[in-house]
Structure 1
Amino acid sequence: MLHKFNVSVLNDYSQRFARKVCDDFFLHNSSASGQHILNLTAIPQINLFVISSLYDKWKADAEAFKSPFFDFENAEVREALKQFMNVVSRNISVKREYLEPILGEATKDTLVLLIDPNSYFNEIFRNQTNFTVTAETIQQLRKYVRFNKIVPQALADSLSDRAFIYVNQAIEWSEQVIAQRASELDSIEQWVGAFSEKVPLDVASLLKKAARPEPPAPVIETPAAKSFFDTLAEETPVVQPVKIEETVVPKPIEVPKSVESFKSPVTLPTASRQTINDSAGNGLKESLNDRLRTEQSTVSDSYQKQPIASISQNIPLHQKFMFIHQLFSGSNSAYESAIAELEQAPDFATARSLISYKFASQYLWDMTGDTVGELLEIVKRRFGH
């Protein structure tokens, strides 16, 4: 995802660079051997990317050689095929019409890796199958990446004994390495001269220009006649507020202790009785309503936190439809497969990783969204969190 680059300019430069290199090399050679390619340009990273591309083609050819009519898993056959492919690899011979486009792609990848390593590694990881980055992939990067090689080295160290990590995790780790160890990245300026020996390189031309809005023209205020609405505040006479007398509620009549023995009723004014009754009644209603709301909230919260034995059986039908359409692009089979995988997770940490790094990457989820949050809450209950 080359967001920072002017892709057309980047492609044009890479093609012109590859053309110039091939012009110079094939002036005296009819084909390029492996050793020729390792020294093809003054930029080792370009040469290694060409070799890496040939390695991928070599592996693909080995797979294509296999036939369903023969047992290629037989130990003798496997050893013979390995020997054959090794001999082939030692006899690289590439004509110009095949080498030039590969060299152009290698040049483009080198420029992206050098100028914006985040874009390069993100693109590599997003293209991995099954949304996972294997330890083998990281080792291949270590073998063929020379510019900003601290990234694959750091990822290899972080993987330790893991066989793979999910794509989002690999991207997160690589971005952290680039941000935290920026001083160790390769200098762009150091290699501009090597590129320019073949084709002059202006790094700024490869990047998108940020659109800068023109500063607003200064507003010159001119005196103008005031509108009717502006004069209202000045001409409207000030009216003194009318003081409202507060209604004095008669105090309850206190009955002397000496009179209590007669137990004669005391009659209060009608207004006072009504005020007291309303006040008492409202206070009682508010108290009961607040108590009921609190109890209902407590019961609801307790229910939502109760552990469950199954994720699928605790997703109501309306919520299931919401998950299918908002999280799984309307695919019921994708939903069922994901829920089954979450059910089989051994613990909450594994289930959370599936959501955060596999499904979020596969279906482009917004991890801060309410729908993902609802799914995560159900998964938490499944594992007692």
Structure 2
Amino acid sequence: MSYKLKQESISSFSTATAANICTEFFAGKNKISGESIMSLTDVRQVNSFIIEALFTQWQAEMARLRSPYFNYEAEEVQIALKEFMNTLSNHISIGRGHLEPLLSKAIEATILLTFAPKKFLLSYWLDMNRENLPKGKLRYIKTHTEGFKLIFETAKTPINPAYLGNLFDSMSSHFEIPEPIEFLQKLKAENKLDLLFEKEVVIEPAPAPIQTPEIEETPEVINTVATKHENGKETINDRFNGNTTAPTLAEKLQKSNRQPLEKTLTLNERIMFTKTLFEGNQELMTKVLEELDTANSIDEALAKTQPYNKKWDIEGDEMDAFIQVLKRRFN
């Protein structure tokens, strides 16, 4: 069974889903922090688009800081402003009234990007009215990353819809559309499948009958097959039908969650976190991870990073990867 996205329903679905997510999050809470936004939903792309919206707002506010008396373009001023931004990002505090519309727009953009990436690409370029595709946008794209990176790096000016559409078509093999139900489950909105998608019934022509000579099975072969099953040995059919004692992915994750955080890190994660988040201090990283092991939830773990995350870039790939490690541990 295949599904077709109902593009006319994206906005209403996003509004309703954002309201449900906010109702659950703000039960007993008045504000949401930057750390909590990074793990607000299980769809990484949604969280990333909220961060992008906040950064865009920051840029708009900074653009108003212009004066005939001071040089805001000076290198030292730009460095100070960046440090100010990093400090400010650790003090994000948003109420439901301001978060909900941002979340709704993030869900809407994520759906289009995920299930209609070509339309997302064309809409983004037309909305921005740009002469080229800004590579800075890539840091916020967490879905179809490889495909969009190829397009952004390959696109040449002048850009127009026909050229961009043809470029996408030439790289469409890098865009694999996920199953809708899996996506909706991450948003706790699987009951809205029929609102957002319609089923497409593909009728395939019946294959022509193939005439094959009948082969009589000898008693020896029958006995051999029966003997294998009687002895309880696994056949190839058994393996493909799932009759195996191998642990499931859920069982592996559950077992992994009982391990200390540091032991769950891959080699690449260990190197990346030590170098970028902990300034090359392996002992400091071990200390922080041991503190996070005492947390009972991902929000509590993120709160425990406060004394150490003053220079962390919440928009960076390292922070995204760190959030994913915490999700493996606490979800």
| TM-score bracket relative to the smaller structure | 0.5 to 0.7
Q: Which residue number corresponds to residue 381 of structure 1?
A: none
Cα distance change of structure 1 residues 171 and 126 upon mapping to structure 2, 3 Å threshold: farther
1:76 equivalenced with 2:76 (yes/no): yes
Pairs within 5 Å for 1:254-333 = none
Deviation string 1:134-172 (CA, Å, 9 cap, x unpaired) is 4xx2342x211122223212124425xx7x552433343
Q: What is the CA–CA distance in structure 1 between the aligned matches of 2:69 and 2:23, rounded to whole Å?
A: 45
The one-letter amino acid paired with 1:158 is T
How far apart are residue 193 of structure 1 and its match? 2.1
**Which residue, out of 180, 195, 198, partners 1:188?**
180
Identify the residue that residue 149 of structure 1 maps to in structure 2. 145
Q: CA deviation at 1:107?
A: 0.9
Amino acid at match of 2:89: S
> Residues 28 and 71 (structure 1 numbering): CA distance in 2 closer, same or farther, change over 3 Å?
same
- CA offsets, 1:43-83, max 9 Å, x none? 11111111111111111111112223322223333333232
Q: 1:90 to 1:170 in 2, by over 3 A?
A: farther
Which of 164, 168, 178 lines up with 1:174 in the alignment? Answer: 168
**What secondary structure, in the 3-state scheme, does the structure 2 residue paired with 1:85 have?**
helix
1:300 match? none
Counterpart-to-counterpart distance in 2, 1:6 and 1:158: 28
Q: Distance in 1 between matches of 2:24 and 2:191?
A: 16
Could you tell me which residue of structure 2 aligns to residue 206 of structure 1? 196
For the pair shown, which has the larger CA radius of gyration, 1 or 2? Answer: 1
Give the partner amino acid of 1:152.
Answer: F
> What is the number of residues matched between the two proteins?
196
Query: What is the distance in 1 between the residues matched to 2:20 and 2:190?
Result: 8
| 1:58-73 correspondence to structure 2 within 5 Å | 58-73=58-73
Give the aligned partner of residue 138 of structure 1: 135
Q: CA–CA distance in 2 between the matches of 1:93 and 1:147?
A: 27
Distance 2:186 2:5 in 1: 22
Indicate the residue corresponding to 2:208 in structure 1. Answer: none
- Structure 1 distance, partners of 2:34, 2:106, is 15
Aligned AA (2:191): P
Equivalent residue number for residue 49 of structure 2: 49
Q: TM-score, normalised by structure 2?
A: 0.53
Q: 1:149 to 1:194 in 2, by over 3 A?
A: same
Q: 2:132 is paired with a residue of what secondary structure? A: strand
C-alpha distance in structure 2 between counterparts of 1:57 and 1:84, whole Å: 15
Structure 1 residues 126, 208: closer, same or farther in 2, change over 3 A? farther
Q: TM-score, normalised by structure 1?
A: 0.46
Could you tell me which residue of structure 1 aligns to residue 121 of structure 2? 121
Runs of 5+ consecutive residues of structure 1 not aligned to the other structure: 211-385
AA matched with 1:166: I
What is the Cα deviation at residue 200 of structure 1? Answer: 1.9
* Matched AA of 2:23: D
Distance 1:186 1:167, change over 3 A: farther
Contact kept in structure 1, 2:135 and 2:153, CA below 8 Å: no
Q: 3-state DSSP class of the match of 1:103? A: helix
The one-letter code sitting in structure 1 at the alignment partner of 2:20 is K
Q: For residue 360 of structure 1, what is the aligned residue in structure 2?
A: none
Over the aligned positions, Cα root-mean-square deviation in angstroms equals 2.7
| Alpha-carbon distance, 1:208 to partner | 8.2
Task: Give 2:270's aligned residue.
Answer: none
* Equivalence for 1:316: none
Query: Aligned with 2:170: secondary structure?
Result: helix
Deviation at 1:132, TM superposition (A): 1.2
1:192-240 superposed Cα distances (whole Å, 9 cap, x missing partner): 3223x246222x5336899xxxxxxxxxxxxxxxxxxxxxxxxxxxxxx
Note the alpha carbon deviations across 1:289-345, whole angstroms, 9 max, x for none: xxxxxxxxxxxxxxxxxxxxxxxxxxxxxxxxxxxxxxxxxxxxxxxxxxxxxxxxx
- Say if 1:128 and 1:78 are closer, same or farther in 2 by CA, change over 3 A: same
Give me the whole-angstrom Cα distance separating, in 2, the residues matched to 1:155 and 1:209.
30
Identity of aligned residues (%): 23
**Secondary structure of the corresponding residue to residue 192 of structure 2:** coil
Residue 100 of structure 1 corresponds to which residue in structure 2? 100
Secondary structure of residue in 1 paired with 2:58: helix
